Amino acid sequence: MDLFIENAFIFDGLGNSPFKANIGIQKDKIIYIGKEKFRATKKINAKELVLTPGFIDTHSHSDFTILADPNAEGKITQGITTEINGNCGISGFPMLGEAFERRLPELKSLGLSPWNTCQEYIKLLKKAKPAINFATMLGHGNLRGAVVGYKDVKSRKKEINKMKELLKTMLSYNVKGLSTGLIYPPGIFADTEEIIELAKALRQFKGIYTTHMRSEGDRVIGALEETILIGKKAKIPVHISHIKTSGRDNWWKIDVILKIIKDAQNKGIQITADRYPYIASQTDLDAFLPSWIIEGSREDIIERLKNKNVRLKIKKYFKERGEDFLNSLLISDIASDKYKSLEGKRLGEIVTLENAAQFTCDLLIHSNLMVGVIYFGMSEENLEKILSQPYVMIGTDSSARCTSGITRNGKPHPRGFGSFPRFIKKYILDKGLLKLEEAIRKITSLPARTFRIEKRGVIKEGYFADIVIFDPAEIEDRATFEKPFNVSKGIKYVIVNGEIAVLEGSMTGKRNGRVLL
């Protein structure tokens, strides 16, 4: 055998009771589970630590950072061995038309040369040799941006047909489904009919529809009903990205939302969801602006932000939302060197309601719209209700970053380094929200089944050797909003396709991930 693990306390990923056994690995597969001992090139004495399948990050945004730095330190050190990328309507391909133009500043900031096609992207991924397995959705924003552009118009039948043909071509490459970001351009301009027509193309490929819904706050119930309608009309499974009730005035809606989902499931509609274990979200600052401001190209938006009348309207908007809104926004990433010192500060610390619009417009202009913010607008009680649902998985909603190099910039959300240990430590081991075997099922076999990740997510002979070994007495997230690049602790070993990527808590430098396309 190439690798033999003995004295492990095994949680198989299926929700079964744990058992003590040894595991034998040959090349990239598990070939033995039992009590016998064998000779092997490498051995690990698990000392009765917890052994599980590798964790699957169901909501990742590593489409570009994984090319810039394939070590994926923040992910693999928290036990993640597989990511589902291409979420919220944005994927690494196709990069055509206005969709291509919109991504250029981000690629430049990561030192990447542009590409256009799926084939080019896969070639780049394989050349990069990522440390973790890479699966992806196809972003609706890529399709609409390429065919219709970033205009607030209803797509025509011939445009929908063109998007559908592009989608079918991408699905033939083992893309897992279609994702939408219906609060971001150009997805925000698409009507329900367009999404249903595109989603129908998923059926023959057994694809899934995932969505950053049209609202997660004031109009969240209507947005959820739209999502269910899409699943019903297209006859496909649907998945709600980072399910939440955003804004204090909407916290009461959680029980209504959970009931609507349960009722739909009882009627035969397949609905799943993911969530990160934090009560703060992260997105782009311009996502908080009215949709008419963010129509068109970057240049169009920037020109609009310079307009005096537009600034007066934004000023009115800020005043309507009040000081609490300013204090709920923490600036995480700024592309402009001029404003870099403001990273990590609340908007309310920097401005008043009187000058918030002026400052925000100037900041977005000087940063070429590339400003990230963390929004503190969720309820801890609601989070626990969400995490308790049997159909909810864990997703970081973060790109793969490292503690040094080109991907270490700004003060991003700590979820990129801490989500999975935080879920296990805080919500399972400390709060007892679920049994540990059920928690492990939600981060291994459930996402593998939901996203058609074959022969992963379960400790079973013949399955790929993606394995995590952790110490339940030590596991803990260490990343904070002040220090988001702190690596988690307690993850002792991470094995990806049979190779040890984390050994006794430290990265080995082995990059043995597979491109699942």
Task: Report pLDDT for 48.
Answer: 86
Task: Report pLDDT for 94.
Answer: 96
Task: Report pLDDT for 218.
Answer: 95
Rounded CA gap, 145 and 151, in Å? 9
Q: Torsions phi, psi of 118, nearest 5? A: -60, -40
- Global pTM? 0.96
Q: At CA 276, angle to CA 59 and CA 175, rounded to 5?
A: 10
Is residue 78 within 8 Å of residue 55, measured between CB atoms?
yes
Helices (H), 307-399: 308-327, 347-350, 356-366, 380-388
Rounded CA gap, 56 and 72, in Å? 14
What are the CB-based long-range contacts (under 8 Å, 24+) for 18-27?
A: 18/50, 18/436, 18/437, 20/48, 23/51, 23/459, 23/467, 25/1, 25/465, 25/495, 25/498, 26/1, 26/2, 26/498, 27/2, 27/498
Rg (CA), the chain: 22
Residues of the chain with pLDDT under 50: none
Task: Report pLDDT for 143.
Answer: 98
Task: Report pLDDT for 468.
Answer: 98
Is residue 395 within 8 Å of residue 241, measured between CB atoms?
yes
Is residue 502 within 8 Å of residue 77, measured between CB atoms?
yes
Q: Which single residue is written with the structure tokens 């297209």? A: 234
Task: Report pLDDT for 166.
Answer: 96
Q: Which single residue is written with the structure tokens 């279609």? A: 178
Task: Report pLDDT for 190.
Answer: 98
**Type and span of the H or E element at 421:** helix 415-422
Nearest one of 104, 75, 58 to 240, comparing CA atoms: 58
The percent of residues above 70 in pLDDT, for the chain, comes to 100
Write the burial class of residue 430 (CB in 10 Å: 0-12 exposed, 13-18 middle, 19+ buried). exposed
Question: Tokens at residue 243, please?
Answer: 């399910």
Q: Is 369 left (phi over 0), alpha (psi -120 to 50) or beta?
A: left
3-state DSSP call for residue 430? helix
Q: What one-character DSSP code corresponds to residue 237?
A: -
Task: Report pLDDT for 514.
Answer: 98
Task: Report pLDDT for 90.
Answer: 98
Count Cα atoms within 13 angstroms, Cβ side, for 381: 7
Count Cα atoms within 13 angstroms, Cβ side, for 262: 9
Task: Report pLDDT for 146.
Answer: 97
Rounded CA gap, 501 and 465, in Å? 12
CA dihedral 13, 203, 391, 9 (to 10 degrees): 0
Query: How many other C-beta atoms lie within 10 A of the C-beta of residue 362?
Result: 17
Task: Report pLDDT for 93.
Answer: 97
- Using alpha carbons, list the distances in angstroms from residue 363 to 253, 317, 325, 334, 357: 34, 17, 18, 8, 10
pLDDT tens-digit profile of 481-517?
Answer: 999 999 999 999 999 999 999 999 999 999 999 999 9
pLDDT tens-digit profile of 216-241?
Answer: 999 999 999 999 999 999 999 999 99
Stated length of the chain: 517
3-state DSSP call for residue 281? strand
Task: Report pLDDT for 288.
Answer: 87
Question: Tokens at residue 351, please?
Answer: 């401005």
Q: What share of the chain is helix, strand, coil (3-state, %, to 5)?
A: 40, 20, 40
Rounded CA gap, 80 and 420, in Å? 8
Task: Report pLDDT for 290.
Answer: 83
